[in-house]
Amino acid sequence: MHWYSNLYLGERLKNQEAKVKSRVERNVPQPSLYLLTLPSNEENLLDIIPATDLLQKAYPKKELFIIGLEKGYDAALEMSAAIVNDIYHKTGTFEVRKFVLKQQTRKNTEMET
């Protein structure tokens, strides 16, 4: 499981980032939490995953690249639209994966120097 360094957070989660991330990593049930991740296939821009799905032992958590957290499915849909809109305004494209990974690489490079 990987976390985006510029993680998008819903308003109700702003002051709870560390706590919520820790609970996700430890598989603590969070029924109303949704994770916005890089897509599992080339066709999608993002995936929206209920945090409860991560409780399944066979769920492929290691491959997840989480870029946003939100409470409630409707709010997660709105956040996904806001993320795509934000990236489109910054790049003029809908290449979410490319933008996020480039930003993450840049952040990791800065941390190393």
pLDDT in tens, 53-72: 998 888 888 889 999 999 99
Of residues 89, 72, 87, 74, the one with CA closest to residue 38 = 87
- Give the H/E segment covering residue 57: none
Q: Are 53 and 43 in contact (CB under 8 A)?
A: no
Any idea where the domains of the chain sit in the sequence?
2-112
- The model's confidence at residue 112, banded by pLDDT at 50, 70 and 90, is low
Query: What whole-number distance in Å separates Cα of residue 113 and Cα of residue 105?
Result: 13
| pLDDT number for residue 57 | 84
Higher pLDDT, 46 or 12: 46
